[in-house]
Structure 1
């Protein structure tokens, strides 16, 4: 500034501003009586302090992969000449802040200009922190005097970005409510910004950030964490109890630490004692707290629940009645009673739900307990009962549809559904896909069967077991089949439903027969025969002839079996079931082949094939062709054998029936061996062995027989 004479005035001044309303001047001013020459104002920049605000770091266990992923994102940013933004999300208590702190504390030398920390209070009773206040705090930490902190949010952000533009800072924004809350706090330049949140902050990924979602710890890491928390040798001395404990904690670090702290306070208490206390589901969450302390698993989950929108909160509660650990979006809609896609997304974003596959979701074990407890406390009893019935109907309808696809010839008894609304799943339009659906949902279907009687819908127990029958036979799920039919039979007896009892006895007897319980199966078939006779059901009684014949055949009584099969072949068509008569002829062929009469076997199998083909029973027609292949091979007619085995194999592969496919593959292996093609024979025997093991276990008789054929080929 000059006075027109070329003189100068030197002075220091800070920021100067004038209030447009009252004309007052704010900031530093220079007063001079006379000015000579130019006036130069030298504005002092705020002193740049070096803040070290990060809270202390706790020991981290079992997070090597996660830490490596974070470090890789940082290195990528450095190579690109930019800073790094990382968003760490996960269920409350999973250790998001602990992982972030452990990583960031190890980078102090890499970021010498300081560390900033803010708790954004996403779930604070007072509400999330105001970004403007957070920026003001950061400015003060960076050396800006309180009176120089700009008044408007935009000015604060601008100054913050100016001050951080060239600095290598670490910034930890803890417990963020949304991407919008933290977007203005990222700064610029080479800084490393880490955001933790219970929500998945997809918006930060759009901004160029890296997302890391933390899952609960694996069992071994959780045991190590329990040992580190106790630090007294009890975990090493009682390893089995330690593993059981962390399984009950479902790998959630907060739960493991709380249980460890409670045990540490009682040095004479055994781990098994705590395990027994946690074993009761209704008490588990209550045990996972420290009185008078804020380390409380239930309270942590309460915080996440309270942040849910209304429909998502209701879905969360109603998922507490879902009988199994995993479910599809359609099952969630059944629980809610309306389309659930939006609420499901909210639960996923809140990390109260985990995706475990395409359209497959899972509640963490402790979250499931919390959802169930919350439902019991906040949902009227009739609402919970209605939700459970809708879920039950969802699985019953799916299993029934799958049964129709897999075995359209199987007589489906009537189904009893609730008032709806209905949300039937899509199970596929071909047998293999439908069987895969049954396999995938088997845990849920078994849970439906076990829970049907206690929940007041016993019909669902036997009807679901009935619908699962094709799976039990074709995929050889013996133990599940036994359990399902035993529960279904109990329900049918309680209901006094004779038709249901007979179905459970005959279908369950076939499962028992395949599982090796031949005498038990015979007793079940004979009981069904008595019930059919008692109600005058001639057709039902005739069907038991086939079943009893199978039991006698497995018991090593082929003559008795052949007699019963012969009667069935005559009585069933006369009683109106031509197809079942064809199955009796197929069983007669099997007996004849086993007795060394391939010509007789051929005659019966060809008759069976004609009947089954006319009945549209492609699966059993393929079984007849497999048997014909074996019979023609025994008769020294390999070309005829190949014709039937090839056709059978193509159909059985489509059906998804591993055991029967293995029988056909084994037949092609025997055919190759008969023709002297040793290497193709070995290849096909190995395939057959794999299928037998898949369908019946490594110790199944057929698997051992194929192993013997392979050994013989290797020795020759």
Structure 2
């Protein structure tokens, strides 16, 4: 039989065929799951055939740049619906994933934190938080590098500047970027954008949209339906609200609803998007009036919620005793198309609906009632942040005491951190609301509670803003210790951003304020030592940490003593003073083990092993590193495990331990690939060479 070289079965990935081979090594790396972030497709969608063809034409073009579609139009005209409908219809063409961001949720102080959106996209593409660049230009550059060969769909909702679209566009020509905006972003013309300008529906399409919500019996009244479309001016959002009204359990007939909207004095204002005369307000007032009393209360009180979205728990808190069945009332609001349900049991208002809800609160609730509602919401977020802080960081020193009475969620370290991440935007919004109302104590205690989140996830824009709020609030309270804490933690953000002058300024003020508080002074001095370390001023850093070690020893604070000894040992190793570092780190390790803090002990072991490695005490280094690797892997701390493996690779090479070298290098490569680290290519080269080049030691 003649030899054949056919593959008859389907395959995924690479296929290797050979007649005879001696040895074959295949290296496979874990692939990050493609992100699929699109919100659900719109429930009701009609026509837009011309606009959809324009979007198809933009995709079916040739070029080295990603296709760019800019959808614009008035509020409520269906920009997001069009973008989502097209995206879901064509999503299978983008096998590397779908990225989505509502830009409005990243808008702070009138501007957009585009850097945070880029960071979110990088994390979605598999980049570990630890490897995200701190600086905005570097984040954009890494995003473009990662997407140079990808086929991605990127949907950006509620954009207000062309620069936001440019920064969030992938590099590959096979990708497509869709943006929606209330303004026509003419500046994108130079980027080759295709513009899709949406207008309200004509009579025929307006009727089709409304009848999608209706029973077959109601559809028979075509005359009333056409009149309803005319009264709504063909605006899709207004038509959807009206359609939802017709679909409620207490159904209005089309004729009844037309009659209700036929007052000329009110209708003209309702159908004009001008200050004091929104066309959507009429639809919302009508839907609001048809709600049961408890649902109306919940609607207007949720309108006071300061953040972009909320969960069921907040609905219960906002409604208070006036809404005995908040779940049912929330369902009614969703059915009436006044609240949108998101994934994971979360909800949000459309921005114009939220405005209407707040207006109803202004009319129907007293100022005291509004303050009480907002106070309950803010207090809920403050207690949640405090509970999460305790779960994640345990009994660390805190400037304030928190009363967690009534808080029902029980966090462990993992769920506490997850809650902080989910509620991050709402927590900052609650702080802003409290600041506006001069609830100063709440502002700085919330800021202190969110330290674990900011320090771990490096949300620098939020980190800086929240601590500026917290710093001012603590000052207003006359709480010097809290102000020191806020300034110190603000300085830490500036240190990580390499904004050393700003960090120095905050630390100098904090040092003056903390002159009579030894504990507060200690944390300021620790940050000062870290500032010196990052500036390469190792001698100054050593002096600071030596004084701190002595102070903690005199205070009898074992954990503080061990942590400052660790910091001192780390600086000594960086300064190539390994002989001095070893006894300091040995002492820190012994103390951490006695305190049964295995994670802190692992951190000490890594630095101690670095000192041993430089002193050519390779076996001792290997012993410490193996312990550190086991601990960090067990505790699911991939960044620290990678740090230990980096050193272990060098130790194994120095000992000519080929087996340990390959085992450590392969595991390191796996971690870096999973985390999206740019160093994965370098480690792969080590494996191919069977050694790490001298200049990389």
SS at match of 2:291: coil
Who is 1:581 aligned against?
561
Give 1:635 shift. Answer: 4.3
Instruction: Please tell me whether the aligned partners of residues 76 and 236 of structure 2 are also in contact (alpha carbons under 8 angstroms).
Output: no
Match of 1:365 among 351, 362, 386: 351
Per-residue CA deviation, residues 191-242 of structure 1 (Å, 9 max, x unaligned), is: xxxxxxxxxxxxxxxxxxxxxxxxx999888969999xxxxx9998999998
Who is 1:397 aligned against?
383
For 2:50 and 2:424, locate their aligned partners in 1 and report how far apart those are by CA, in whole Å: 32
Give 1:630 shift. Answer: 3.1
Match of 1:353 among 317, 321, 339: 339
Who is 1:435 aligned against?
417
For 2:359 and 2:647, locate their aligned partners in 1 and report how far apart those are by CA, in whole Å: 56
For 2:616 and 2:81, locate their aligned partners in 1 and report how far apart those are by CA, in whole Å: 74
Give 1:443 shift. Answer: 0.8
Instruction: Please tell me whether the aligned partners of residues 318 and 387 of structure 1 are also in contact (alpha carbons under 8 angstroms).
Output: yes
For 1:453 and 1:63, locate their aligned partners in 2 and report how far apart those are by CA, in whole Å: 45
Per-residue CA deviation, residues 614-653 of structure 1 (Å, 9 max, x unaligned), is: 3454443332133234334444455544544454445546
SS at match of 2:486: helix
For 2:578 and 2:435, locate their aligned partners in 1 and report how far apart those are by CA, in whole Å: 49
Per-residue CA deviation, residues 361-420 of structure 1 (Å, 9 max, x unaligned), is: 222222222222222222211111111111111111111111111111421232477xx9
For 2:80 and 2:491, locate their aligned partners in 1 and report how far apart those are by CA, in whole Å: 53
Instruction: Please tell me whether the aligned partners of residues 458 and 492 of structure 1 are also in contact (alpha carbons under 8 angstroms).
Output: yes
Instruction: Please tell me whether the aligned partners of residues 288 and 296 of structure 1 are also in contact (alpha carbons under 8 angstroms).
Output: yes
Give 1:709 shift. Answer: 5.3
Who is 1:9 aligned against?
none
Match of 1:408 among 390, 394, 419: 394
**Is 1:375 the counterpart of 2:375 in the alignment?**
no
Match of 1:596 among 559, 568, 576: 576
Who is 1:517 aligned against?
499
Match of 2:482 among 482, 488, 500: 500
**Is 1:385 the counterpart of 2:367 in the alignment?**
no
Who is 2:58 aligned against?
none
Who is 1:527 aligned against?
509
**Is 1:310 the counterpart of 2:298 in the alignment?**
no
For 1:368 and 1:483, locate their aligned partners in 2 and report how far apart those are by CA, in whole Å: 24
Instruction: Please tell me whether the aligned partners of residues 394 and 423 of structure 1 are also in contact (alpha carbons under 8 angstroms).
Output: no
**Is 1:477 the counterpart of 2:465 in the alignment?**
no
**Is 1:60 the counterpart of 2:48 in the alignment?**
yes
Who is 2:607 aligned against?
627
Structure 2: state its 5+ residue gaps.
1-44, 54-74, 83-155, 160-176, 200-205, 210-228, 239-267
For 2:427 and 2:366, locate their aligned partners in 1 and report how far apart those are by CA, in whole Å: 25
For 2:531 and 2:675, locate their aligned partners in 1 and report how far apart those are by CA, in whole Å: 21
Closer, same or farther: CA 560–95 of 1 in aligned 2, 3 Å? closer
For 1:706 and 1:301, locate their aligned partners in 2 and report how far apart those are by CA, in whole Å: 54
Who is 1:320 aligned against?
303
Instruction: Please tell me whether the aligned partners of residues 309 and 346 of structure 2 are also in contact (alpha carbons under 8 angstroms).
Output: yes
Closer, same or farther: CA 543–369 of 1 in aligned 2, 3 Å? same
Who is 1:81 aligned against?
none
Closer, same or farther: CA 396–520 of 1 in aligned 2, 3 Å? same
For 1:432 and 1:62, locate their aligned partners in 2 and report how far apart those are by CA, in whole Å: 49
Give 1:469 shift. Answer: 0.9
For 2:80 and 2:615, locate their aligned partners in 1 and report how far apart those are by CA, in whole Å: 71
For 2:233 and 2:194, locate their aligned partners in 1 and report how far apart those are by CA, in whole Å: 13
For 2:527 and 2:233, locate their aligned partners in 1 and report how far apart those are by CA, in whole Å: 53
Query: Which of 407-416 and 682-691 deviates more?
Result: 682-691
Match of 1:491 among 461, 470, 473: 473
Instruction: Please tell me whether the aligned partners of residues 663 and 688 of structure 1 are also in contact (alpha carbons under 8 angstroms).
Output: no
SS at match of 2:285: helix
Who is 2:551 aligned against?
571
For 2:80 and 2:587, locate their aligned partners in 1 and report how far apart those are by CA, in whole Å: 69
Closer, same or farther: CA 448–621 of 1 in aligned 2, 3 Å? farther
Closer, same or farther: CA 383–709 of 1 in aligned 2, 3 Å? same
Give 1:568 shift. Answer: 0.5
SS at match of 1:521: helix
Provide the aligned length of Structure 1 versus Structure 2.
Answer: 469
SS at match of 1:453: helix
Give 1:707 shift. Answer: 6.2
Who is 2:426 aligned against?
444
SS at match of 1:361: strand
For 2:195 and 2:469, locate their aligned partners in 1 and report how far apart those are by CA, in whole Å: 34
Closer, same or farther: CA 646–684 of 1 in aligned 2, 3 Å? same
SS at match of 1:323: coil
**Normalising to structure 2: TM-score of the pair?**
0.57
Instruction: Please tell me whether the aligned partners of residues 409 and 617 of structure 1 are also in contact (alpha carbons under 8 angstroms).
Output: no
SS at match of 2:272: coil
Match of 1:606 among 586, 594, 597: 586
Instruction: Please tell me whether the aligned partners of residues 395 and 445 of structure 1 are also in contact (alpha carbons under 8 angstroms).
Output: yes
**Structure possessing the higher radius of gyration over alpha carbons:** 1
Give 1:482 shift. Answer: 1.7
SS at match of 2:543: helix
For 2:273 and 2:279, locate their aligned partners in 1 and report how far apart those are by CA, in whole Å: 6
Give 1:712 shift. Answer: 6.0
Instruction: Please tell me whether the aligned partners of residues 77 and 198 of structure 2 are also in contact (alpha carbons under 8 angstroms).
Output: no
Taking the TM superposition and a 5 Å limit, the aligned residue runs for 1:692-703 are: none
Instruction: Please tell me whether the aligned partners of residues 573 and 581 of structure 1 are also in contact (alpha carbons under 8 angstroms).
Output: yes
Instruction: Please tell me whether the aligned partners of residues 452 and 461 of structure 1 are also in contact (alpha carbons under 8 angstroms).
Output: yes
**Normalising to structure 1: TM-score of the pair?**
0.56
Closer, same or farther: CA 333–562 of 1 in aligned 2, 3 Å? same
Who is 1:192 aligned against?
none
Taking the TM superposition and a 5 Å limit, the aligned residue runs for 1:100-139 are: none
For 1:647 and 1:428, locate their aligned partners in 2 and report how far apart those are by CA, in whole Å: 29
For 2:303 and 2:425, locate their aligned partners in 1 and report how far apart those are by CA, in whole Å: 16
Give 1:309 shift. Answer: 1.9
For 2:663 and 2:50, locate their aligned partners in 1 and report how far apart those are by CA, in whole Å: 47
Instruction: Please tell me whether the aligned partners of residues 474 and 658 of structure 1 are also in contact (alpha carbons under 8 angstroms).
Output: no
Per-residue CA deviation, residues 570-628 of structure 1 (Å, 9 max, x unaligned), is: 11231343311211110111112212344433322221122234345444333213323
Give 1:447 shift. Answer: 1.1
Who is 1:549 aligned against?
529
For 1:316 and 1:357, locate their aligned partners in 2 and report how far apart those are by CA, in whole Å: 20
Closer, same or farther: CA 653–324 of 1 in aligned 2, 3 Å? farther
For 1:241 and 1:440, locate their aligned partners in 2 and report how far apart those are by CA, in whole Å: 35
Instruction: Please tell me whether the aligned partners of residues 444 and 470 of structure 2 are also in contact (alpha carbons under 8 angstroms).
Output: yes
For 1:304 and 1:94, locate their aligned partners in 2 and report how far apart those are by CA, in whole Å: 19
For 1:595 and 1:390, locate their aligned partners in 2 and report how far apart those are by CA, in whole Å: 52
For 1:504 and 1:353, locate their aligned partners in 2 and report how far apart those are by CA, in whole Å: 37
Give 1:523 shift. Answer: 3.2
Closer, same or farther: CA 222–511 of 1 in aligned 2, 3 Å? closer
For 1:514 and 1:225, locate their aligned partners in 2 and report how far apart those are by CA, in whole Å: 36
For 2:483 and 2:556, locate their aligned partners in 1 and report how far apart those are by CA, in whole Å: 22
Per-residue CA deviation, residues 461-500 of structure 1 (Å, 9 max, x unaligned), is: 2111111111222222233212211121121122221011
Structure 1: state its 5+ residue gaps.
1-56, 66-90, 99-215, 228-232, 247-251, 262-284, 694-702
SS at match of 1:358: helix
For 2:81 and 2:469, locate their aligned partners in 1 and report how far apart those are by CA, in whole Å: 47
Give 1:688 shift. Answer: 4.8
Closer, same or farther: CA 614–225 of 1 in aligned 2, 3 Å? closer
